[in-house]
Amino acid sequence: MGWMADESGLDKCAANFVPLTPLSHLRRAAQVFANRTAVICGSHTATYSEYYDRVTRLASGLVALGVQPGDVVATVIPNVTAQIEASFGVPACGAVLNTINTRLDADTVAYIFDHGGAKVVLVDTQFLPVVEDALARMDGPAPTLIECPDVDAGFPATGRHQTYDALLASGSADFDWIMPQDEWESLSLNYTSGTTGRPKGVVYHHRGAYLMTMGTVVSWRMVLHPVFLAIVPLFHCNGWNHTWMMPLVGGTVVGCRDVSAKAIYDAIGDHGVTHFGGAPIVLNLIVNSAAADQRSFDHTVEVFTAGAPPAPATLAAIGQMGFNVTQVYGLTETYGHVTECLWNADWDPLPQDDRAAIQARQGVAFPMMERVNVVDDKNQQIAQDGTTQGEIVMQGNAVMKGYLKNPAATAEAFEGGHFHSGDIAVQHPDGYIQIADRKKDIIISGGENISSVEVESCLMAHPAVSLCAVVAKPDDKWGEVPCAFIELLDGHTATEAEVIAFARERLAGFKTPKAVVFQDLPKTSTGKIQKFELRQKARSL
């Protein structure tokens, strides 16, 4: 269908078809942009020629450790040199990159090691204690640990493990990259935040990541040689694929270990940063920054924000400070952002508050997506009236292959021929999507997804707790934080501080409730907790 009557000899061959992969971007950049600055991180600076050389040595060193095509190589590293280089070095040896959230507890990290089957793990020295604890908790064989010290940040090598620099020194600069033979081959493995229990392993393919880099350049209005500040953690959807994108346009990646207003302003002032992405908490850092931390600059800095809808007041304030903010939306399952609040010049004359309210919408599909719609429970398009609610669904190349070792969850996610986000939204007459609620009570704090079920399970283990429910409480800094409502057992007492301390011993810090309210929980006639009432109360706290 769609072919001409006689297409004899018009077949795919080595000359006219090459599997799409973001690895191609760096191979090209090493020649085309050889002497341009590719990476800046602390005292480390590398040209594209040097970047390519280090990535190649990393790939070669991993092969010498026994890593074979299809094996998983994990990382527990912030946005510094080793993590940036691993984005290319791990897939360059045919392996699958598994970037792990540096804020997770040892038990969850152990689960990810076991479930993903990591053969090697690259670990920043700061996070060695958690990872060493995780290795001891594993059921299966432990991965080989490579330590990545960061002297600039005050984390020198401990001497307990082979170091990252030693691994690179052991590698060969002549190593021939193992490119995918099929663009559907797995490129990376990213674990969700476990919003319904244990985290699920989301598998990306080379084709999706390649097209993600192409579509983002268009939507972010990029020209050659942008300077990109890596704020979005590279364990979040591989940093929304932005590190894979930079060699495409000969851009510079500026590493950022610890995010602060001063770090952002210094990167703009010292390195001329033109683009960065971040959760609304990052916008709040800038808006509320001290005058002493600010630096003057004479260009517009383009910002993608996602994670939770930013407050219109925040958008209005930051727009007057030299930053142009575009609201985007996506999930781990969609390689990051797949919708954008594409600006319409017709909105320019509107009052500032009205413009900011429009900016807070999640918008329309990115170029690399076929469609993003809102449907009812029968998978039918809802009325685009800005009021009717439904679920956001997606189709396109920037949708995951599926969940690792979980065909049932994959089939459920793809039911009806599109990916079900689980997020509830309205759709405006112009097609723009706006999130109204979260189907599974996910709490999004500083861009991190928190499972209310996980936090509730932890609190239910407290000896004084009879029943609890955890909901999102609005927070000026983090966007949302967990708020716990608790019914105590008869004859038992507990304080807010005691409950929070109990949770902090068992959960990652960002998952710990920031407020605790002791009360009878509102329930339906069948005993189901009415979380919508608790959310209303949390908003008034």
The pLDDT, as a whole number, for residue 525 is: 43
**Contact partners, residue 270, CB within 8 Å, separation at least 6:** none
Closest alpha carbon to 333 in 196, 192, 215: 192
Number of Cβ within a 10 Å radius of residue 359: 23
In tens, the pLDDT along 209-262 reads 999 999 999 999 999 999 999 999 999 999 999 999 999 999 999 999 999 999
Closest alpha carbon to 76 in 255, 233, 240, 263: 233
In tens, the pLDDT along 322-372 reads 999 999 999 999 999 999 999 999 999 999 878 877 887 899 999 999 999
Query: Could you tell me which residue, 203 or 285, shows the higher pLDDT?
Result: 203
pTM of the entire structure?
Answer: 0.85
Residue 146 has pLDDT above 50, yes or no: yes
Question: For residue 466, what pLDDT band results from cuts at 50, 70 and 90?
Answer: confident
The pLDDT, as a whole number, for residue 23 is: 98
Q: What are phi and psi of 305, to 5 degrees?
A: -125, 140
| Residue at token pair 């990259």 | 177
Question: For residue 409, what pLDDT band results from cuts at 50, 70 and 90?
Answer: very high
**Contact partners, residue 521, CB within 8 Å, separation at least 6:** 467, 468, 469, 485, 487, 529, 530, 534
Per-residue HEC secondary structure of 147-158 comes to EECEHHHCECCC
Task: Identify the structural domains of the chain with CATH numbers, from first to last.
Answer: 443-540 (3.30.300.30)
**Contact partners, residue 345, CB within 8 Å, separation at least 6:** none
Residue 534 has pLDDT above 70, yes or no: yes
The pLDDT, as a whole number, for residue 195 is: 45
The pLDDT, as a whole number, for residue 538 is: 94
Q: What is the Cα 104 distance to its own chain's centre? A: 14
Residue 401 has pLDDT above 70, yes or no: yes
The pLDDT, as a whole number, for residue 319 is: 86
Question: For residue 2, what pLDDT band results from cuts at 50, 70 and 90?
Answer: confident
The pLDDT, as a whole number, for residue 316 is: 79
Query: Could you tell me which residue, 281 or 486, shows the higher pLDDT?
Result: 486
Q: State both tokens at 99.
A: 């970037």
Residue 528 has pLDDT above 60, yes or no: no
Average pLDDT estimate for 522-528: 58
Mean pLDDT of the chain: 93
Q: What is the percent of the chain with per-residue pLDDT over 70, rounded to a whole number? A: 96
Residue 133 has pLDDT above 90, yes or no: yes
Question: For residue 194, what pLDDT band results from cuts at 50, 70 and 90?
Answer: low
Which of 210-214, 409-413, 434-438 has the least mean pLDDT? 434-438
The pLDDT, as a whole number, for residue 526 is: 41
DSSP lists the bridge partners of residue 515 as 483
The pLDDT, as a whole number, for residue 285 is: 87
Closest alpha carbon to 151 in 254, 52, 41: 41
